[in-house]
């Protein structure tokens, strides 16, 4: 399944549909995605805490 999903994400049709929305598809391993999310959380977590921002419940 991962192989098929990767082929879809790499396709020109998928890229043409996602780029106008600001989504830049980047196929890769789930570990890479987990690292990306973790880094984003670390990068944005401190400023959010300092600004006392909280998620809607």
Domain for residue 19, yes or no? yes
Q: How far is CA 3 from CA 10, 32, 50, 55, in A?
A: 11, 16, 42, 35
Domain for residue 13, yes or no? yes
- The Cα 38–Cα 33 span in angstroms is 9
Buried b (16+ CB within 10 A) or exposed e, 8-43: eeeeeeeeeeeeeeeeeeeeeeeeeeeeeeeeeeee
Domain for residue 41, yes or no? yes
Please give the pLDDT value at position 6: 83
pLDDT tens, residue by residue, 10-56: 899 999 999 999 888 877 777 888 998 999 888 888 888 889 988 88
Domain count, the chain: 1
Domain for residue 57, yes or no? no
- Which residues span the domain enclosing 39? 2-50
Domain for residue 15, yes or no? yes
Q: Is the pLDDT of residue 5 over 90?
A: no
């Amino acid at each position: 399944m991962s192989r098929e999903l990767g082929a879809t994400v790499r396709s020109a049709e998928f890229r043409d549909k996602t780029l106008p929305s600001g989504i830049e598809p980047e196929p890769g391993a789930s570990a890479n995605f987990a690292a990306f999310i973790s880094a984003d959380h670390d990068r944005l977590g401190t400023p959010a805490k300092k600004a006392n921002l909280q998620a809607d419940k």
